[in-house]
Chain A
């Protein structure tokens, strides 16, 4: 099956729709056909909603013809990660244990997308329960990188990154617990933004690690990311950790002006050890470009960076071990056959239902919280988390935005890391601190190494998404990396 041409950015699609050159029904058809045509190569979707999506597209067309569109996103095809529930639709989190589960309620994200008229065409591939950096821990199998199908798309929100990078949809949504939006965005050459913790409601996002999970967006460029983020942000009384802030006006800050803005370059992030020198070179070049645009550079220090990965894996696994206890085969999802007792039913259902990486993290987390180890691990990690937060407070006293690589390397070959989970964990070094400190972070394409995209990461103080997008937009006004397309799929 030959794929229809890729869908471009949001503003272009909007313009085509408004000019009557296309319809929502056509766009959604194109997206669905392209998704299906590319699925054997990319495996970016776990499920598509062909019929419902087409029906919703027709309704959007009717609204547009009446002159009554719901928003700039009305009638635009989008994709959500398979851990955000939608009423009447399955949600599997890439896990066998949620086989057969159909949600009776919708996430706040889905409600907001529906209210905006966006057409959700399907649920994207992910590492099981968002635990992983490659989507290799998905029952579906790993998504492939559109730039080189032998390589990973990154993870855990790999399917969403691929869906945007491959031009299936102009916008997709993911969740980021330790880099699960930014790293795949970096690997796939798209913009991926994790907002401040609490900015986007977690209601209906299947929890991995509640204190770190945050929903964010994948888009072609900073401008589209701003529009999407405005739409999904805002206080939600159903999420007690939701920030009591209205949705920000992000597009207003996209004026291309970064003169006088101080970019902090954390010295601990620019050590040569364990980092691809080509990646460092591209990031340095990007920083130089921003300096040329008028930004100032200042070296800053985040002295506790060396503790971040360990702290992250202690806290994330502890929370996960508890969050995943509800998958017990009692009320929904998979229940093993032939159990001899209640305990046997639990053990068999969970043994069959969870994959190896999820089991590894449940066991780690259970250990971290167990009596006798709680103080040494969980409590200590919470204390270190406070130190990491303080590092950022102090750094932001001297700069406006922190710039770093998103990942120490470009997308690695599929299968090259599965036998070495520790190495996989260590590659999260640049992304996890942002979650531990609850900060907003964005990854944007800043060049290529070995033909693969390199990501520049921008980190900001809490609630300063606008500042990050301003810098990203200014960079994209001066460069063309975000417009590059995977050659194989062009």
Chain B
């Protein structure tokens, strides 16, 4: 947990760029895809050819509305796309179509749980606007072209939401918690895969310090391209340390764009912002203002799924789960849905939560799969737990099958049979094993009868060993006790 600073108030605002999971780009019919060969997901529009015109992707607008509603923003009935003008080889038109003076969503908030169980912090959002992504430059020494730089425009025009927070965050861990919550919301409502590794969820952080308790904000710096939650915390911590040192020395902080170097764990100045960039924003004359009807907003509102915080509260009350279990189960919508489906099949919540959070998640982790990819259906998990309840197999054997079931699917009962993992509770085999153990350890049996009850555990261990772990421990204990006349 990375905290603020003992002598300074830390003020952090975050700008998140989240890629919308639409099929086509924001203003072009070119597909949105990841990992395709360079310049294969393009169309004259995203190449900025002479004479092309943008046409707004209606699905992206629906997604932006959902994101605004899920973050308690006001969705504007009228918003405007503007051109942000600058030259760069990854920007085919020489301008980015974004929203500037009139964004689609304004003034929202999200509740962020920083520490499990503690009261959430309410973080305000300034705005959410839609914009198109730029392409990518690939630097290859020795490639064709004078300095070996190539342009890949597959990403050019991919729809993004820029989500801007108020400077309400007070520590690196709050910043990270905010990002996790925000990512969870976007995934819950199904508008973004928010996969950090694929660059679907990118973060810039504005950081400033002021002496504890003073009102006036300090000069801020902007940390660019923090592409993992760990980096966000580390980079902000490093920047706090850097600024605190400057404050301590009495050296003024300069407004600058900073980069974080994870190797040195330090931030460094990319460029000073003495001369503010002039992007010459103006309304894009190729697009009409975006008009959204009140009906459209209400339709979107009605389609909003239950969000993580509401689901978490419900899980605690409806299923009598601990806050920690409920939070873990509601971290992603597919996991929560899986849980509820398994509970519906099994009947009780607590055992399902235990199996899911312990065994299934562990198996998924080992297999590097998401819950969506689990071949163990929720109904099959319920069936597996019931096999244990019925004593048909023991818990240890059942646990040993989870990974295989998650990876390959199949019928739990059939697999138990195939592996010969049926519990021995009902067979003569178990009785024979118990008698054999008692026969081999007459002294211990005597000790038990003499009142040394803990010897029972030793004898149980011997039986389990003899049955290669297939015996139901409960049945073994009962049988031993009976034989020993307890």
CA distance A239 to B27 in the complex (A): 11
Stretch in contact with the other chain, from B70-78, B83-91, B395-403:
B83-91
A362-391 CB mask vs B (1 if < 8 Å, else 0) is 000010011100100010000000000000
Closest 6 CB pairs of A and B: A325-B94, A369-B280, A211-B285, A210-B285, A204-B51, A206-B50
Stretch in contact with the other chain, from B52-60, B161-169, B293-301, B470-478:
B52-60
Question: In the complex, what's the smallest C-beta–C-beta distance from B39 to chain A, in angstroms?
Answer: 10
Contact status A240-B287, CB under 8 Å: yes
Known interface pairs A240-B288, A325-B87, A326-B48. Does A366 touch B280 (Cβ–Cβ under 8 Å)?
Answer: yes
Q: Which of these, A204, A210, A322, contacts B280 with CB under 8 Å?
A: A322
Q: Which of these, A203, A318, A325, contacts B93 with CB under 8 Å?
A: A325
A241 within 8 Å of B by Cβ? yes
- Having A93-B50, A339-B146, A346-B87, one finds 17 other A-B pairs with CB under 8 Å, namely A91-B51, A105-B44, A204-B51, A207-B286, A210-B286, A237-B55, A240-B286, A319-B282, A321-B280, A322-B95, A322-B280, A322-B282, A325-B93, A331-B92, A331-B151, A369-B281, A370-B278
CA distance A326 to B94 in the complex (A): 5
Contact status B282-A342, CB under 8 Å: no
Contact status A330-B89, CB under 8 Å: yes
> Which one of A84, A205, A331, A366 has the greatest number of beta carbons of chain B within 10 Å?
A331
Q: Which of these, B51, B85, B278, contacts A103 with CB under 8 Å?
A: B51
Cβ-closest chain A residue relative to B279: A371
CA distance A322 to B95 in the complex (A): 7
A101 within 8 Å of B by Cβ? yes
A469 within 8 Å of B by Cβ? no
Chain A binding surface SS class:
loop
Cβ-closest chain A residue relative to B48: A326
Question: In the complex, what's the smallest C-beta–C-beta distance from B287 to chain A, in angstroms?
Answer: 5
- Chain B residues, CB < 8 A from A465: none
Question: In the complex, what's the smallest C-beta–C-beta distance from A210 to chain B, in angstroms?
Answer: 4
- Chain A residues, CB < 8 A from B47: 331
Q: Which of these, A207, A330, A332, A370, contacts B51 with CB under 8 Å?
A: A207
Contact status B50-A103, CB under 8 Å: yes
- Chain A residues, CB < 8 A from B92: 326, 330-331
Q: Which of these, B55, B85, B282, contacts A238 with CB under 8 Å?
A: B55
Seen from chain B, the residues whose Cβ lies within 8 Å of a Cβ on chain A are 44, 47-56, 83, 85, 87, 89, 92-95, 146, 151, 276, 278, 280-282, 285-288
Q: Which of these, B52, B89, B287, contacts A342 with CB under 8 Å?
A: B89
CA distance A237 to B83 in the complex (A): 21
- Chain B residues, CB < 8 A from A374: 280, 282
- Chain B residues, CB < 8 A from A332: 49
A107 within 8 Å of B by Cβ? yes
Contact status B48-A331, CB under 8 Å: yes
Q: Which of these, A104, A321, A342, contacts B49 with CB under 8 Å?
A: A104
A30 within 8 Å of B by Cβ? no
> Which one of B87, B280, B288 has the greatest number of beta carbons of chain A within 10 Å?
B280
Known interface pairs A210-B286, A370-B280, A378-B282. Does A322 touch B50 (Cβ–Cβ under 8 Å)?
Answer: no
Cβ-closest chain A residue relative to B278: A371
- Chain B residues, CB < 8 A from A238: 53, 55
The 9 listed contacts between A and B (C-beta, < 8 Å) are A91-B51, A107-B51, A202-B51, A203-B51, A207-B51, A211-B285, A240-B286, A241-B286, A369-B281
Contact status B85-A369, CB under 8 Å: yes
A328 within 8 Å of B by Cβ? yes
Contact status B282-A203, CB under 8 Å: no
- Chain B residues, CB < 8 A from A346: 87
A98 within 8 Å of B by Cβ? yes
CA distance A91 to B44 in the complex (A): 15
- Chain B residues, CB < 8 A from A204: 51-52
- Chain A residues, CB < 8 A from B276: 371
Contact status B50-A326, CB under 8 Å: yes
Interface residues of A in 185-203 (CB under 8 A from B): 202-203
CA distance A203 to B94 in the complex (A): 19
- Chain A residues, CB < 8 A from B55: 237-238, 240
CA distance A207 to B92 in the complex (A): 15
CA distance A421 to B78 in the complex (A): 40
CA distance A238 to B280 in the complex (A): 26
Question: In the complex, what's the smallest C-beta–C-beta distance from A156 to chain B, in angstroms?
Answer: 16
Contact status B53-A240, CB under 8 Å: yes
CA distance A315 to B477 in the complex (A): 90
